[in-house]
């Protein structure tokens, strides 16, 4: 029944039956660390896995369970797990899928802390990795080694917005029987559903669009039931990066408006991108909804809409880019994304400051590149703020 409903409806109703919770319209917040057993025998049965029922909130919590069931439905996955941060989700998944001596094949330009985790895995656990541009099947085939344990992808890639063709990657990965993990944070399940395209795991920093309100740090992983049960019993339970019931409750609330929020984020971005592109102080705009975007066709095929993230390049120097940021008023200088507030940041000195300069240059992260997370304000006000800050960059020499 549930699977037949549309995304917007599922985001509100799936994973929860009010009649099982005293008719409470909204899923109750089980703000409790532990659960009492009616008898010693029942406690024994629960620990033995022979009786359903909760034990202790690190092993499971009813509010968290509602969130996980919703995410599974929205990603069209068999199951999902929630975590205390996007990085807890990434690390639990990679720890589960790899062992010492393995290799991970990644898309170039992954999230900074994921990159940090790969370094740690290499130095402490002898798990190597390669960061490659997934531009055609042969490159992928040649980069897969006998010890490649998984393929890890972000698309669109932060902050250059380059896309990876997921169907192409899945085709090669299936030949070699290697699981594909996609960090779907930039899209949310509303815009892109990698599991439908054959990917095995989807990860989100739920901190971003899934929360949508800038008040939670959390993560989720969706995938096959069998695999997620294993993660739940090992790298979630024993490493312990669990989500708090309160944060799960806030995410359940955020999900109800995911589709309407994303529609507005995308609509606003589609208004702002061409205006930026036409401004004399802007030399480049990277936005998958731009018809001249090199992967425009792929974006249309793989994503429902182009998303709310725009990167753009300014004329001038690093100092000009920083001065431009300082002139923004409505738009706030901050990392993170997917909030109601429009946020802007300077990747070269902020999110990607840890990437060595020559790697940054190769990846197209220049000193004048800026990343804009288009918020939910009136687009005219967002544009007025950008225009005001841009116009003053013009030097009359």
Q: Considering the complex, what minimum distance in angstroms separates the CB of residue 221 from ligand PLP?
A: 12
Collapsing DSSP states into helix, strand and coil, what is residue 98?
coil
Interface positions with ligand PLP (CB under 6 A): 85-87, 111, 113, 154, 158, 183, 185, 205, 207-208, 217, 219
On the CB side of 110, how many CA atoms lie within 13 Å of its CA?
A: 28
- Per the listing, tokens 């102080």 go with 281
Instruction: Pick the catalytic residue from 54, 111, 152, 209.
Output: 111
- Is 286 an annotated catalytic residue? no
- Is 111 an annotated catalytic residue? yes
Nearer to ligand PLP, 182 or 389 (CB): 182
- Is 152 an annotated catalytic residue? no
Instruction: Give 135-162 as a 3 state SS string.
Output: CCHHHHHHHCCCCEEEEEEECCCCCCCC
Q: Which residue is nearest to ligand PLP (CB)?
A: 86
Q: Considering the complex, what minimum distance in angstroms separates the CB of residue 216 from ligand PLP?
A: 9
Instruction: Pick the catalytic residue from 70, 162, 208, 261.
Output: 208
Residue 138, CA distances (Å) to 46, 141, 142 in order: 50, 5, 6
Residue 308 sits at φ, ψ, to 5 deg, of -110, 15
Q: What is the DSSP string of 255-273?
A: HHTHHHHHHHHHHHHHHHH
d(Cα 113, Cα 246) in Å, to the nearest integer?
Answer: 25
- Is 183 an annotated catalytic residue? yes
Q: Considering the complex, what minimum distance in angstroms separates the CB of residue 113 from ligand PLP?
A: 6
Q: Please provide the size of the chain in residues.
A: 397
369-373/343-345 β-pairing: antiparallel
Beta strands in the chain (DSSP E): 79-83, 103-107, 128-132, 148-154, 180-183, 201-205, 219-223, 282-286, 309-314, 332-333, 343-345, 369-373
If phi over 0 gives left and psi between -120 and 50 gives alpha, with beta otherwise, what is residue 26? beta
Instruction: Pick the catalytic residue from 5, 58, 237, 277.
Output: 58
Collapsing DSSP states into helix, strand and coil, what is residue 196?
helix
Structure tokens at 334: 């901050």
Q: Considering the complex, what minimum distance in angstroms separates the CB of residue 93 from ligand PLP?
A: 12
Q: Considering the complex, what minimum distance in angstroms separates the CB of residue 390 from ligand PLP?
A: 26
Q: Considering the complex, what minimum distance in angstroms separates the CB of residue 337 from ligand PLP?
A: 6
Q: Considering the complex, what minimum distance in angstroms separates the CB of residue 149 from ligand PLP?
A: 20
Nearer to ligand PLP, 355 or 389 (CB): 355
Nearer to ligand PLP, 152 or 383 (CB): 152
Nearer to ligand PLP, 107 or 368 (CB): 107
Residue 226 sits at φ, ψ, to 5 deg, of -60, -45
Instruction: Pick the catalytic residue from 165, 183, 290, 367.
Output: 183
Nearer to ligand PLP, 251 or 389 (CB): 251
d(Cα 104, Cα 117) in Å, to the nearest integer?
Answer: 12
Residues identified as active-site: 58, 111, 183, 208
């Amino acid at each position: 029944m549930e699977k037949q409903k549309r995304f917007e409806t599922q985001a509100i109703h799936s994973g929860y039956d009010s009649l099982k919770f005293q008719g409470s319209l909204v899923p109750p917040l089980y703000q409790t660390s532990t659960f009492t057993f009616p008898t010693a025998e029942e406690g024994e049965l629960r620990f033995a896995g022979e009786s359903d029922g909760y034990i202790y909130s690190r092993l499971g919590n009813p509010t968290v369970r509602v969130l996980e069931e919703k995410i599974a439905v929205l990603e069209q996955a068999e199951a999902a797990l929630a975590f205390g941060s996007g990085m807890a989700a990434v690390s639990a998944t990679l720890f589960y899928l790899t062992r010492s001596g393995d290799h991970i094949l990644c898309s170039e330009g992954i999230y900074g802390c994921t990159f940090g985790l790969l370094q740690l895995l290499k130095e402490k656990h002898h798990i190597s990795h390669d960061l490659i541009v997934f531009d055609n099947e042969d490159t992928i085939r040649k980069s897969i080694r006998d010890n490649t344990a998984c393929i890890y992808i972000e698309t669109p890639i932060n902050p250059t917005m380059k896309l990876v063709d997921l169907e192409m990657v899945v085709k090669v990965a299936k030949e070699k029987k290697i699981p594909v993990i996609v960090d779907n944070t930039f899209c949310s399940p509303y815009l892109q559903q990698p599991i439908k395209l054959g990917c095995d795991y989807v990860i989100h920093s739920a901190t971003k669009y899934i929360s949508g309100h800038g008040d939670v740090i959390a993560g989720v992983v969706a995938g096959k039931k069998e695999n997620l049960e294993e993660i739940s019993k090992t790298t979630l339970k024993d490493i312990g990066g669990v989500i708090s019931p309160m944060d799960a409750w806030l995410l359940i609330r955020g999900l109800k408006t995911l589709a309407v929020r994303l529609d507005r984020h995308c609509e606003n971005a589609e208004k702002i991108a061409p205006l930026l592109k036409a401004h004399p102080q802007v030399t480049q705009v990277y936005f998958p909804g731009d018809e001249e975007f090199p992967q425009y066709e792929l974006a249309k095929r793989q994503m429902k809409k182009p998303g709310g993230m725009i990167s753009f390049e300014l004329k001038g120097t690093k100092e000009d880019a920083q001065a431009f940021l300082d002139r923004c008023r409505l738009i706030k200088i901050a990392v993170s994304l997917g909030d109601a507030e429009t946020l802007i940041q300077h990747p070269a000195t902020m999110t990607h400051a840890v990437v060595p300069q020559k790697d940054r240059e190769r990846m197209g992260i220049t000193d004048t590149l800026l990343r804009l997370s288009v918020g939910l304000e009136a687009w005219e006000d967002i544009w007025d703020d950008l225009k005001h800050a841009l116009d003053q960059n013009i030097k009359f020499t």
